[in-house]
Amino acid sequence: MIVYASRTGNVRYIASKLNTEPIEISEELMLDKPYLLITYTDGLGEIPAKVVRFLEQNANFCKGVVVSGNSNFGHTVFGGAGDKIAATYQIPLVRKLDLRGYQADYEAIQKFYETRVTG
């Protein structure tokens, strides 16, 4: 399963490029099976608040995180949400994507998903 949080539509677009039916994060979403998280970066490298609340209840089944960001903000904050999620929850940072990313990114994410999440 792939779950995602999207503010501008970039992450929704990324999730739509994968061979699965992604689920958008909501306040009441509770999971009991492995999933891959795709999120955006808020502010200057922060985890979006709704993702923090989601992970507080669902981190145990998260097998990896993909993050979208804007490299124009600089290397130290680009995709910072992914770095923080990976460190806090001890899960792999699968990929950092600049905005919507590229086909090679989608292929790498799909491969990770098929081997490490649904495997």
Length of the chain: 119
The model carries a pTM of: 0.96
Mean pLDDT of the chain: 96
Residue 119: pLDDT band by 50, 70, 90 thresholds? confident
Which whole-number Å values give the CA distances from 67 to 28, 32, in the listed order?
Answer: 22, 22
Task: Give the β-pairing of 62-69 and 23-24.
Answer: unpaired
Cα–Cα distance for residue pair 110/16, rounded to 1 Å = 11
The residues spanned by each domain of the chain are 2-117
pLDDT one-digit tens code per residue, 84-115: 999 999 999 999 999 999 999 999 999 999 99
pLDDT one-digit tens code per residue, 3-57: 999 999 999 999 999 999 999 999 899 999 999 999 999 999 999 999 999 999 9
Does the domain at 2-117 match CATH 3.40.50.920? Answer given as no
Task: Give the β-pairing of 2-4 and 23-24.
Answer: parallel
